[in-house]
Amino acid sequence: MPNAAHPPSTAVLELRGVRVEGRRAPRLDGVTLRVDAGERVALIGPSGAGKSSLLAVANGLLEPTAGTVWWEGCPRARSRQGRRLQQARIGTLWQDLRLIEQLTVQQNLNAACLARWGWPKAVLNLLMPLDTPACRQALRQMDLDPALLEQPVSALSGGQRQRVAMARLLRQEPLLLLADEPLASLDPRLAAELLALLLEQARAPRALVLSLHRPDLLAGFDRVIGLRNGRIAFDQSAEAINAGQLQALYGQAENSQDLNGEGAALP
């Protein structure tokens, strides 16, 4: 439980005793973790371990039933405006990308600025190209041809879409980068490229939390958090992970689901 008397130090993200109810067993149970600026954290675990729930709590989509979440040292804002400003600092790379198919690449990139823009600019964006230099720059950063700006998103290839989603994420200029299994549906080359891009962007003051289904892409991360049955099984530096831990994390996942974390220990 958070102690209101001690103001928390400014971690980019901090979860304390977070619990999220599920249908049979809690989806998250007693999750406490802290991500500081510059940290790149991989979240691993078998499917159903609670990785997506944890990310949903981290980006404010899901409100925990118990425990608290702090962003940059502040709890969830009460006012609508405060909440929006808070959300604007959290960028999520969704597994299904969630680009707006009917809009052009440029309109999609600019959609990342809607939290800051007022109505007039938001409506103008739907009428004419806005902030073209910044959008071109965002595409170039992702090794994309700036001529793509006028294309509708539906006309892009899979790899291009992935990069446009990344460009949109960066255009939002978030402090906390979250990514839910962004590499799941990519071929190995594309996956490696995207991972490198994400890791490179996550320098202080930014921080990155990325969930992975497979444990073979952990190189480059500072920390690895293993989740199992909604609880943190381990939380340690990437180099210190050993095969036994991974085996314990992934082994017999189907059988032990009802036992609620047999062998899983809080760090």
Question: In this chain, which stretch among 26-34, 121-129, 180-188, 215-223 interacts with another protein, using CB under 8 A?
Answer: 121-129
Q: How far apart are CA 229 and CA 227, in angstroms?
A: 7
Is 123 a binder of another protein (CB under 8 A)? yes
Q: How far apart are CA 110 and CA 126, in angstroms?
A: 10
- Exactly one of 23, 24, 80, 189 binds another protein (CB under 8 A); that residue is 80
Q: How many residues bind another protein (CB under 8 A)?
A: 35
- Exactly one of 43, 111, 227, 241 binds another protein (CB under 8 A); that residue is 111
- Binding mask 215-244 toward another protein (x if CB under 8 A, else -) reads ------------------------------
- Exactly one of 9, 73, 100, 158 binds another protein (CB under 8 A); that residue is 100
Is 5 a binder of another protein (CB under 8 A)? no
Nearest to 215 by CA among 185, 190, 183: 183
Question: Exposed e or buried b for every residue in 108-142, given b needs 16+ CB within 10 A?
Answer: bbbbbbeeebeeeeeeebeeeebbeeebbebbeeb
- Exactly one of 52, 53, 87, 162 binds another protein (CB under 8 A); that residue is 87
Q: How many other CB atoms are there within 10 angstroms of residue 253's CB atom?
A: 15
Is 160 a binder of another protein (CB under 8 A)? no
Is 132 a binder of another protein (CB under 8 A)? no
Token pair for 226: 């293993």
On whether the CB atoms of residues 228 and 45 are closer than 8 A, the answer is yes
- Exactly one of 94, 141, 193, 248 binds another protein (CB under 8 A); that residue is 94
- Exactly one of 3, 6, 119, 216 binds another protein (CB under 8 A); that residue is 119
- Exactly one of 98, 140, 203, 214 binds another protein (CB under 8 A); that residue is 98
Q: In what order do the strands lie in the sheet with 90-93?
A: 90-93, 176-180, 207-212, 40-44, 223-228, 231-237
Three-class secondary structure of residue 189 per DSSP: helix
On whether the CB atoms of residues 227 and 54 are closer than 8 A, the answer is yes
Residues making contact with another protein (CB under 8 A): 59-61, 80, 84-92, 94, 96, 98-104, 107, 111-112, 114-115, 119, 122-123, 126-128, 172, 174
